Amino acid sequence: MSASPRPEASRSLSRTGIDWGSSLGTAVSLAATVFILLILFVILGNVVIHGLPQLSWRFVSTIPKKDFFDKDSAAVLPMIVGTSIRVLVMTVFVIPIGVTTAVYLTEYARSNSWYTRVIRAAISNLAGVPSIVFGLFGAGFFVHLIGGGIDDIIGATSPKWGKPALLWASLTLAVMTLPVVIVATEESLRAITPGLREASLALGATKLQTILRIVLPNALPGILTGGILAVSRAAGEVAPILFTGAAYYLADLPRSLNDQFMDLGYHTYILASQAPNIEKARPILYGTVFVLLLLTFSLNAVAIFARARIRRQMRSGH
Amino acid sequence: MKKNLLVIAASLISAAQVLGGSITVKGSDTMVVLAQKWAETYMQKNPGTKIQVTGGGTGTGFAALQNGQTDLATASRPIKAKETENCIKAFGKRPTEFKVALDGITLYVHPANPVTQLTIEELEGIYTGKIKNWKEIGGPDLAITVYSRENSSGTYEFFKEHVLKGKDFAASAQTQQGTAGVVQAVMKDKGGIGYGGVGYATGVNRLKIAKIKGGTYYEPSEEAVLAETYPIWRYLYIYVNPAINSGEISTFLKWVRGEEGQKQVSEASYYPLPATLRSQ
Amino acid sequence: MTESTPEQRGVDRDWSGIRRAANFRPVEWLAEKMIQGVSFTAIAGVFLIFLFVGKEALPVFLGQTDSRLIQPIIPSSEVAKVKPEVLRQYLGLSVRDFAAMDQDTLKELMQVREEGAKDIPEYARSDPDSGVNGSGWRYLIAPHQWSGNEHPEYIWQPVGNIQKFNIIPLFLGSLKTTLIGLFFAVPLALAAALYVSQLAPVRVKEWVKPGIEMLAGIPSVVVGAFALLVLATWLQSIFHYQVRLNAFVAGIALGFAVIPLVFSIAEDALTSVPKSYVQAALAVGASRWQAARDIVLPAAIPGVFAAVVLGFGRAIGETMIVLIVCSAPVMSWNLFDSARSITTTIAAEMGELVPGSPHYRILFMLGTVLFAVTFLTNLIGDVVINRLKRRLEGKR
């Protein structure tokens, strides 16, 4: 691909007056940008306009009884609880593993060794695996192999762990969001100037001490950003939990990690596709979507602006 | 290492878990609302019992029944031989079948459509694509749009086997997720026809159906379904492992098939069992 | 695979040098090994996914599934006469289970088989296709003239007595929705990336970029619900097609999900083109737009290509949007017909089938294929981006 300018560019040199081609090009690309932002605002605006009026204390604080397609008994407390717990449990697993991997990649690995290359390839592939495939994997690996294995070990007569459950859904999501945490952490580890590490080593600290006391505390904002991004990505995912733990309906809140759970995203799908009367279910659907968006979006917004700040610091740091 | 951690966590949590006198119900998504109605009413009468209802699909219900994940499996179709086999392999016995309700499949058309009745044969023609215009069956000169359910739904399978006699739906058939989608589409389409449960038919006309040409046309009413004169209907089932069909579970199943349970069936827009099939 | 920056390489050199100089410290050594061990998780993840999804699909790949309606029957009265090994295989039992079973249970199992065969309605039994194994490779990919059809056809009808598992309509559905999505998303995202990276004032850029990234934060199930409730109605009133929910609506909604991804990657690639290129162009009198279009864009073209490839991977793997918007496995290139994608099929049908059945295995096979496709697109995307960055850095 040659990077030499095309003839038109040089021709315009001799032209005087307004450069219509350039103005038009700029205008079109600006219009595309505005259009994309418009899509964002239309979706958000639509959900807020129709969803906000549906919100009531009862809606978010009770368990739906009898019929969740019915306006009077529809409520989302168990879904909020289910979604929250599953992302929390996921975080407990994904943050330590993701951060450790990022530490290995930035502090220990040599960037050109084959092992590092394979890890990087694995991470980027993991990021691209379709979410429904994670669902199949979670059902086969976590639910049947590990869950079933635990049942064998504890000698359960009926499945206690070898069935879809909160824990398995969380672990499936942890595998899925691993790349998010690794990439964000790595970015923040790299933003720390080598001088800091050198100073620590010069004072006699070992490498491990330097990582634990100097590098990681300095990278904390980035690690948090990664965690938040992972959580916001996972909170809205439905496909990976279809076969690993989400329930259509439960009369109770989950009480242990081997219970199934109701989920905001899955519930949105049910309301959108299975309602006996679409018109009647529409406001409930909007209300549920609003709550889901509120959850994922507040997390996302925090992560994006935190990352923007870190990047700015990084730039000024060099 | 992860596995070891899991085992420790698992044993800790399972030690802390309390096993109460509870019944789990799992299976057909069609029946979740009905099962939930049963559960709620039963729990009000018997506060000591906890009933947990989940959907997931009829197949999921049978799989769960087979490996003991659920006590009762709800089903919108009878168990398949393969599934019975799996149950025998798992617990040595065939699961016990209980018919718990009747469901009439209703045909919907646009309110402005003058056609009010069809035979099964004509339906087959419409749904396989042989009949393409309403005028062929005494209606206006208007192309027929065929609406069908998702091919994973029990209703779809039933319609395919009982109305189309195993033939494939016309390629032009429009698939909708859920019966409500079908109703809504028909409501907006003058040439549309769709099928689904009787409780959904708001804003559309319900067709009278005759078994054969020249036969009597019947409304999908409770009487016609019970008398088996309305031709397209099916049973809804609950299956249970006979080894655990005692105590609380047995009581609940009797109650479901008794007067009070059947009252909930009507409320959920299905048809209650005839007296001969009810529990005494 | 993101290439390390020069600063990073500097860090590496420093660290490894220090490691070699230091005395042997057991704690340090152990920690390093443990950290290295944990980093293996990502590799294990990919490997296990392939293993566990592929394992369930293996019988399909090997042609060992059998979905024939009419299966050979051994009468239950002959339970004592049949050779144990034949009986074990007939009933599909493991050696351990078979040994644990008594005669009565075996007989019961055989009876169930017989009854199942008896329950097949006459119209299905007499169907010429009742002996066809629809889960064989030939029927999975090639069209077949099923009884009642006038031509050989591609049919996905996994439910019913005679199961038809042709996967071509599903691939078509995936391709159709994905391509519509890309045709909609790529031009928009590229134009926006060009604007944000080259033309926009810094203040605008700082607001627009997070804004577009926020679009990525909308869960796909929400995009699906929006498409169902609002977008479908709008598009129908603009284009006046007959069926409200179709591949076109699903494709546009997929586009919403793909835009932020394509934008991010393309913007990244465009920004990584050295500023000196632009400065040189401006110095000889080109406008900013000319510099962006004629200098920066061609230099970053591999990155743009990678963005499209990765966008393709994202779109073809998306589940919930297509699941909510449309779902019929129609064999048609018409954009305004319904479509059923591979992902949708897995999500919708998994709950209704018998685990271990041919249908179940075929869904896992579809999952494996999907995994392979995205694996490939990722690989291509990564390689291209790396080459580009190395080249641009080398030129600097």
CATH number of the domain that residue A106 is part of: 1.10.3720.10
> Does any CB of chain B come closer than 8 Å to the CB of residue A247?
yes
Inspect the interface and report whether the beta carbons of B57 and C146 lie closer than 8 Å.
no
Whether the CB-CB separation of C309 and C381 falls below 8 Å is answered with yes
Whether C63 has a pLDDT exceeding 60, the answer reads: yes
Instruction: For residues C110-114, give the mean pLDDT.
Output: 89
CB-CB neighbours of C229 under 10 Å: 19
> Which residues on chain B are in Cβ contact (under 8 Å) with A250?
52-54
pLDDT of residue C12: 45
Indicate yes or no: CB of C109 within 8 angstroms of CB of B85.
Answer: yes
Closest-CA distance of chain B to residue C10, Å: 34
Average pLDDT, rounded, for chain C: 86
What local confidence, expressed as pLDDT, does residue C330 receive? Answer: 76
Give the model's pLDDT for residue B21: 64
In a domain, A29, yes or no: no
Domain contains C316? yes
pLDDT band at A14 (very low <50, low <70, confident <90, very high): very low
Structure tokens at A279: 């018109």
Sort out which chain B residues have CB atoms less than 8 A from A271's CB and list them: none
- Quote the domain boundaries for residue C24: 6-61
Task: Give the pLDDT confidence score for residue B261 in this predicted structure.
Answer: 93
Q: Tens of pLDDT along B89-138?
A: 888 889 999 999 998 899 999 999 999 999 999 999 999 989 999 999 98
Interface contact flag, B165 C351, Cβ < 8 Å: no
Question: Is C263–A36 a contact, with Cβ atoms under 8 angstroms apart?
Answer: yes
Question: Inter-chain contact A150–B6, Cβ cutoff 8 Å?
Answer: yes
Cα of B144 to nearest chain C Cα, Å? 12
Give A156's contacts in chain B (Cβ within 8 Å): 14
Rounded Cα–Cα distance for residues C319 and C327 (Å): 11
Under DSSP, is residue A249 helix (H, G, I), strand (E, B) or coil?
coil
Phi–psi pair at C285, nearest 5 degrees: 100, 10
Q: Which domain holds residue B15?
A: 2-103+235-277
List all chains that touch chain C, counting a touch as 3 or more CB pairs closer than 8 Å. A, B
Using a CB-CB cut-off of 8 Å, the residues of chain A touching B16 are: 256
Give chain B's domain count.
2
- List the single best residue of C112, C119, C163, C323 to mutate versus B (max B Cβ within 10 A): C112
Query: Are A69 and B51 an interchain contact pair (Cβ–Cβ within 8 Å)?
Result: no
Q: What is the pLDDT of residue A2?
A: 42
The per-residue pLDDT for C6 is 43
Q: Do B11 and A162 touch (CB under 8 A)?
A: no
Mark whether B207 and B144 lie in a shared domain: yes
Cβ pair C108:B58 closer than 8 A:
no
3-state SS of chain C is CCCCCHHHHHHHHHHHHHHHHCCCCHHHHHHHHHHHHHHHHHHHHHHHHHHHHHHHHHHHHCCCCCCCCCCCCCCHHHCCCCCHHHHHHHHCCCHHHHHHCCHHHHHHHHHHHHHHHHHCCHHHHCCHHHHCCCCCHHHHHCCECCCCCCCCECCEECCCCCCEECCHHHHHHHHHHHHHHHHHHHHHHHHHHHHHHHHCCHHHHHHHHHHHHHHHCCCHHHHHHHHHHHHHHHHHHHHCCCCCCCHHHHHHHHHHHHHHHHHHHHHHHHHCCCHHHHHHHHHCCCCHHHHHHHHHHHHCHHHHHHHHHHHHHHHHHCCHHHHHHCCCCCCCCCCCCCCCCHHHHHHHHHHHCCCCCHHHHHHHHHHHHHHHHHHHHHHHHHHHHHHHHHHHHHHC
CATH of the domain at B266: 3.40.190.10
B 23-52 residues inside an 8 A Cβ radius of A: 29, 32-33, 36-37, 39-40, 43, 50-52
- Model confidence over A131-160: pLDDT tens digits? 999 999 999 899 989 998 998 899 877 778
Q: Are the beta carbons of A258 and B54 separated by less than 8 Å?
A: no
Give the mean pLDDT of A251-268: 90
Instruction: Give yes or no for residue A30 having a pLDDT over 90.
Output: yes
| Number of domains observed in the structure of chain A | 1
In a domain, C315, yes or no: yes
The answer on C318 and C185 residing in a single domain is yes
What is the pLDDT, as a whole number, of residue B175? 81
pLDDT, chain A, mean:
86
Any domain includes A310: yes
- The reply to whether B157 and B85 lie within a common domain is no
**Does the structure show a pLDDT above 60 at C22?**
no
Q: B12 falls in which pLDDT band (50, 70, 90)?
A: very low
- The answer, for A149 touching chain B at a CB cutoff of 8 Å, is yes
Residue A297 lies in a domain: yes
Chains that touch A (3 or more CB pairs under 8 A): B, C
Confidence of residue A16 (pLDDT cuts 50, 70, 90): low
Do C93 and B89 make contact, defined as CB atoms within 8 angstroms? yes
Out of B3, B10, B180, whose CB is closest to A276?
B180
CA-based nearest residue in chain B for residue A93: B2
Task: Tell me the count of A-B CB pairs closer than 8 A.
Answer: 98
Q: How many domains does chain C have?
A: 2
Whether C59 contacts chain A with CB within 8 A: no
Q: Are residues B147 and B177 in the same domain?
A: yes
Task: Report the residue from A233, A265, A300 with minimal CB separation from C214.
Answer: A300
Question: Which of A129, A134, A272 minimises the CB distance to C224?
Answer: A272
Between positions 268 and 297 of A, the ones with CB within 8 A of B are 273-279, 281
Are residue B240 and residue B208 in the same domain, yes or no? no
Residue among B11, B32, B199 whose CB faces A248 most closely:
B32
How big is the A-C interface in CB pairs under 8 Å? 332
Lowest mean per-residue pLDDT among A26-35, A234-243, C115-124, C195-204: C115-124
**Within a domain: A71:** yes
**Does any CB of chain A come closer than 8 Å to the CB of residue B246?**
no
B11 and B45 both lie in a single domain: yes
Q: What is the pLDDT of residues B169-206, one digit of tens each?
A: 887 788 887 787 888 889 888 899 999 887 777 889 99
Q: Which of B240-244, B257-261, C67-71 has the lowest mean pLDDT?
A: C67-71
User: Tell me, what's the pLDDT at C10?
Assistant: 42
Question: Residue A262 domain-assigned?
Answer: yes
Q: Is the pLDDT of residue A317 over 70?
A: no
In the predicted model, what is the mean pLDDT of residues A24-48?
Answer: 95
**Window 339-368 of C, Cβ < 8 Å to A:** 343, 346-347, 350-351, 363-364, 367
| B136 & B219 share domain | yes
Cβ–Cβ contact A201 with C under 8 A: yes
Domain hosting residue A76, numbered range:
47-317
Largest CA distance in chain C: 96
CB contact under 8 A, A128 and C346: no
Q: Does C159 sit within 8 Å of B152, measured CB to CB? A: yes
Tell me, what amino acid is at B144? I
With a CB-CB cutoff of 8 Å, which residues 151-190 of chain C face chain A? 187-189
DSSP string, A14-35: H--S--HHHHHHHHHHHHHHHH
The residue of chain A with its CA nearest to that of C326 is A273
- Domain end (from B226, B249, B268): B226
Q: Note whether B81 contacts C116, CB cutoff 8 Å.
A: yes
Residue C123 included in any domain? no
Both C236 and C366 in a single domain? yes
What confidence score (pLDDT) does residue C71 get? Answer: 84
Residues 29-58 of A with CB under 8 A from C: 29-33, 35-37, 39-40, 43-44, 46-47
Does A60 lie at the interface with B, CB-CB under 8 angstroms?
Answer: no
Point out which residues pair with A261 in neighbouring strands: A246
Assigned domain for A213 exists: yes
Q: Which amino acid is present at B8?
A: I
Mutate to test the interface with C, among B66, B70, B80, B168 (most CBs of C within 10 A): B168
C288-346 confidence digits (pLDDT tens): 999 999 999 999 998 999 999 999 999 999 999 999 887 677 777 888 888 889 999 99
Contacts of B56 in chain C (CB under 8 A): 351
pLDDT tens for A173-210 read 999 999 999 998 998 898 888 899 999 999 989 889 99
C274 φ/ψ angles, rounded to the nearest 5 degrees: -55, 140
Of B62, B81, B157, the CB nearest to C119: B81
pLDDT at A12 over 60: no
Rounded to a whole number, what is the distance in Å from the CA of C178 to chain A's nearest CA?
13
Q: What is the CATH number of the domain that holds C247?
A: 1.10.3720.10
Residue A23 lies in a domain: no
Q: Are residues B122 and B144 in the same domain?
A: yes
Would you call C157 and B168 a contact, using CB atoms and an 8 Å cutoff? yes
As a whole-number percent, the residues of chain C with pLDDT over 70 amount to 93
C317 touches chain A (CB under 8 A): yes
Could you tell me if residue A30 is inside a domain?
no
Q: Report CB contact under 8 Å: A120, C2.
A: yes
Distance between alpha carbon A157 and the CA centroid of its chain, in Å? 37
Give tens-digit pLDDT for C171-228.
Answer: 999 999 999 999 999 999 999 999 999 999 989 988 898 889 889 889 999 999 999 8
Please tell me what DSSP assigns to residue A146.
I
d(CA C35, CA A116): 13
Give which of C264, C288, C290 to mutate to test A binding, by max A Cβ within 10 Å: C290
Which chain C residues are Cβ-neighbours of B145 within 8 angstroms? Answer: 242
Q: Where is B54: in which H helix or E strand?
A: strand B50-54
Over chain B, what is the mean pLDDT? 85
